[in-house]
Structure 1
Amino acid sequence: MGRAINRLSASGVKTASVGKHADGGGLWLVKREDGGAQWVLRVTVHGRRREMGLGAYPDRSLKEAREVADTWRAVARQGLDPIKERERQRREAARNIHMLADIALDAFESRKAELKGDGKAGRWFSPLELHVLPKLGRVPVADIDQKDIRDTLAPIWHTKAATAEKAMSRLTIVLRHAAALGLEVDLQATEKAKALLGRQRHTVTNVPSLPWQDVPAFYQSLGGSITELALRLLILTGARSGPLRNIHVEQIDGDVWTIPADDMKGRKGATKEFRVPLSAEAQRVIAEARKFARDGFLFPGAKRGVISDMTMTALMDRRGMKERPHGFRTSLRVWLAEATNAPHDVAEMCISHMVGSKTVQAYKRTDFLEQRRALMERWSEAVSKKNSASRIFQMAR
């Protein structure tokens, strides 16, 4: 019995001739004509002979081959197929390596080139980071199913519907990214999770806005910091926060600011840029802001990039206001409706709203620039003229 196993010696293995050499207990050394050699283990499971490779020699020594063979013989004695068991262990190891958090970060890095502004800076990633990864980040992406997603997003599905939708959308992208990497994932998991969560019950609320009558006092309370100048220009132009915070000095030509098509909301892939007329007051604000410009951006952030949307919101919060920067677009639109005779299409264009279907827009070759120029000059005079507010608006500097 002692000669039944461990028949080979280290020196004998080294000088073995071409062919198969038994060490006993099913362990064989297979020497090839090209000089290479392979360890092979033969076992019988449920009457079926199985042959599995244990690695190459000399990468795996005789001693190591015997130890590995002992491990898989023990598996076979339990009635398990060692080859299938090894594959199962490999799949398990692969799942443990590809955690959702790692795949999500990789997906984010891959998409950065097509993201703009805050998205590139991390805003795209934040719904995942705040609402998904704390619970599922360390779960192997291959193991995530619709019930995991449902349980994760259920707490905010109805109370923070928009945020939950963004998180679900981002998770769908991450799962697709995982599939592109060759991982086995359920690409329908998010859709199944939506079915389990049910239709969202929420009421859409408008962004709080300041009555236009109170805008002059607020405007006049603003100082000359980067954030305050950005708010001033936001009010004067009726622009959205994103394009304004990312405004580049090269986009300004005299009294016209041209917003690139890619920065216009709702125009993905559009080829049409948008011109914004700049009033005398708007040009004055821009001139004051130029002294802060960095890397060509008029409103740079403290360390890098540009100021964030939350920077302007925080200023209004500190003043005890419930209104938000985006609400000044509403203030302007209501002023246009109540204090001017601006035609509907012109008023809508003042806040860069496209009127009519895509077909109608295709044939409408004007952006009413001159008519808007006159209206925006009146708006600027109204908000910047001292004592023009009909109410006293107390603001702490």
Structure 2
Amino acid sequence: MARTLNKLSALTVKNAAPGKHSDGGGLWLHKRDEGAGQWVLRYTIYGRRREMGLGSVQNVSLKDARSASEKWRGIAAKGLDPISERERERREAEKRLHLLEDVAADAFESRKAELKGDGKAGRWFSPIQNHILPKLGKKPVGEIDQIDIRDALSPIWHRKAETARKALNRLDIIMRHAAALGQEVDLQATDKARALLGQQRHQTKNIPALPWIEVPGFYASISDGTVTHLALRLLILTGVRSAPLRFLRVEQIQADVWTIPGEKQKGRKDKTPDFRVPLVPEALAIIEHAKAFARDGFLFPSVKKGVISDATMSRLMERRQMAARPHGFRSSLRDWIAEATETPLDVAETMLGHAVGNKVERAYRRTDFLEQRRKLLERWANHVTGKSGKLLKLVEAS
């Protein structure tokens, strides 16, 4: 005998007295004294009677309650428990709310404070954005395994080895971020993908540097007093990285010391100390010339807006068909220190702003070897300007 369905109407639901009212097919309205009501589906599975809540009368209409009842009756007819199936669907939906692209964006946001310029240049995120998210961004992070990662990176693993390495390392950070959010992820997936991808054929190349013996000739050739020439000359004389130099502000210079703020240094953390650069007479003269071009407080402005770009200095060297690049002058200086002076390692590495020693050693070291570095840069300026080739010997600070 067929069961009677749709016994209730919207009006009877609204005016129903407290108690239990059947709509047929296992759908019941449980009305309470205060007027509120709850939809309940009764069904039998594995010989066991169960009740499944379908929502309140205030939130679920009679029509929607019947539709849900029909759906879950169909599930029960297949021998599946509607309550268990609904929980499974909830978990699946929850997974879809934590797609890799969302977790990646959240991980990037949480790390911006550690990145130069709050990551606005995009260099941290771009390997993920360009090579991981197009293939895996819409996939729940909990479902990503080593096969997925291998397939995403295999096209560039050898062709763009350094980019692929960065993408894999940053994906590992994102997976750990997902775990911290409470997602069930495979924290070994990136390591297993690395094993599947194999050893990279491509070897990372260092930025080409001009041999230190050739630096005086190049220095003499950049003498027209333009912003580009002045910036390159100061870059050579100080051994600093390109970015701090390009964003050099007048107020960073006090007497004969240039102080680079900690947040402007490569790989900076919140507690990175400021870095002092001694300015020898040749460097101070260049700075005086550059002040004539200063705009908005920057000593090396670009033609239109902002500051001179690294590409501008690089193109000057490219036009001369030079293999070397501006960043390479740091290597030129370091090689000169090693080959033409007798300088303690601590002083030599501090010259380039490198951290020396372990964390404990750095905590107890209070000197930045400013005066020793000043002597070195005076000799380096003499070499660069063709004034002296005399061997310099520095004693280690006590």
Normalising by structure 1, report the TM-score.
Answer: 0.81
Counterpart Cα distance in 2 of 1:359 and 1:96 = 45
In the alignment, the residues of structure 2 paired with residue 373 and residue 161 of structure 1 have an alpha-carbon distance, to the nearest angstrom, of: 39
Instruction: Give the equivalent residue in structure 1 for 2:53.
Output: 53
Residue of structure 2 equivalent to 1:170: 170
Q: Which residue of 2 aligns with 1:390?
A: none
- 2:170 maps to 1:185: no
Task: Give, in whole Å, the separation in 2 of the partners of 1:215 and 1:253.
Answer: 28
Matches within 5 A, 1:41-190: 41-117=41-117, 119-158=119-158, 160-190=160-190
SS for the counterpart of 1:20 is strand
The structure-2 alpha-carbon separation of the partners of 1:361 and 1:90, relative to structure 1 and needing over 3 Å to count, comes to closer
In structure 2, how many angstroms separate the alpha carbons of the residues matched to 1:123 and 1:304?
A: 22
User: After the TM superposition, which of the residue ranges 271-280 and 22-31 deviates more from structure 2?
Assistant: 271-280
Structure 1 match to 2:353: 352
- Mapping for residues 1-397 of structure 1, pairs under 5 Å: 4-117=4-117, 119-158=119-158, 160-200=160-200, 203-219=203-219, 220-221=221-222, 229-261=230-262, 272-290=273-291, 298=299, 309=310, 312-313=313-314, 315-317=316-318, 319-339=320-340, 346-353=347-354, 366-383=367-384
Aligned residues: CA RMSD: 3.6
CA distance in 1, matches of 2:213, 2:277: 23
The corresponding residue for 1:395 is none
Report how far residue 125 of structure 1 moved: 0.7
CA–CA separation in structure 2 for the residues paired with 1:160 and 1:36: 64
Contact 1:72–1:82 (CA under 8 A) maintained in structure 2 = yes
State the shift of 1:20 in Å.
1.2
Q: CA deviation at 1:336?
A: 3.4
Partner secondary structure for residue 121 of structure 2: helix
Letter in 2 for 1:11: L
SS at match of 2:259: strand
Q: Structure 1 residues 341, 320: CA separation in 2 closer, same or farther (over 3 Å shift)?
A: same
**CA distance in 2 between partners of 1:95 and 1:345 (Å):** 51
Alpha-carbon distance, 1:209 to partner: 0.5
Q: Structure 1 residues 300 and 101, CA, compared in 2 at 3 Å: closer, same or farther?
A: farther
Partners in 2 of 1:56 and 1:293 — Cα distance? 69
Cα deviation digits, residues 186-224 of structure 1 (max 9, x gap) = 233223323433455554533210122433444433766
Alignment length (residue pairs) = 387
315-324 vs 53-62, greater mean Cα deviation:
315-324
Distance in 1 of aligned mates of 2:132 and 2:303: 29
Distance change (3 Å), C-alpha of 1:61 and 1:154: same
Q: After alignment, is 28-37 or 299-308 more displaced?
A: 299-308
Q: Deviations over 1:311-347 (max 9, x none)?
A: 5445544554332322111112233345556566544
TM-score (norm 2): 0.81
For the 8 Å contact 2:250–2:299, the answer to whether it is kept is yes
Query: Per the alignment, in what secondary structure is the counterpart of residue 13 of structure 1?
Result: helix
1:123 is paired with a residue whose SS is coil
Q: Percent identity?
A: 64
What secondary structure, in the 3-state scheme, does the structure 1 residue paired with 2:34 have?
Answer: coil
Gap change, CA 1:84 and 1:235, over 3 Å in 2: same
Letter paired with 2:53? G
Question: How many Å separate the matches in 2 of 1:298 and 1:80?
Answer: 73
Larger deviation, residues 13-22 vs 310-319: 310-319
Distance 2:260 2:384 in 1: 23
For structure 2, the residue ranges without an aligned partner over 5 or more in a row are 388-398
13 and 252 in structure 1: CA distance in 2 versus 1, 3 angstrom threshold: same
Change (3 A) 1:78 1:239: same
Q: Is the 8 A contact 1:117 1:242 kept in 2?
A: no
Shift of residue 237 of structure 1?
0.6
CA contact (8 A) 2:45 2:80 kept: yes
